[in-house]
Structure 1
C-alpha cells in the first residue's frame, strides 16, 4: 500500500484514507474519493492535502488499491 506523500501517486477519483485536521492527534482516518488536490509541491512529508468528494479536507495517509 502506498502512502500519500507523492503528488504523482494521487489523482481525482482515487479512493484514499485521509487524516482530518481535527483528527491529527488521534490519527483517526477517514475514507473517501479524491475530488481535487490542494498541495502544489510534488512531495509532502505529512501527506498530500486533498479535498474529498464529500467536501472534507485532509492529508492522504493511505491509498486504497
Structure 2
C-alpha cells in the first residue's frame, strides 16, 4: 500500500486512514493508526506533520497517510 507524506495538508482529508505520533509518544516514535476526524493545522505545510484529531479522539501529528492504491 503506497503512502503519502503527512507534512502537507493537501494530502490529508477527513475519513482517510493515517498513522500519527501522539504527544506522549514523540520520543519513542510509536505510531498510532486511525481515521481522520478533524484537521487541526491551518498551515498548508508543517515540517513535523499536520496535526489531526482521529475518530477515537486522539490528537497527534500525521507521519503516514495510507492510500487506497
Pick the TM interval, shorter chain. Answer: over 0.9
RMSD: 0.5
Partner of residue 43, structure 1? 45
Which of residues 23, 32, 35 is equivalent to 1:33? Answer: 35
Partner of residue 22, structure 1? 24
TM-score, structure 1 as length reference:
0.98
Query: Number of paired residues?
Result: 65
Partner of residue 9, structure 1? 11
Larger Rg: 1 or 2?
A: 2
List, as ranges, runs of 4+ consecutive aligned residues in structure 1 with deviation greater than 2 Å.
none
Q: What is the CA-CA distance between 1:64 and the residue it aligns to?
A: 1.0
Long gaps (5+) in structure 1: none
Long gaps (5+) in structure 2: none
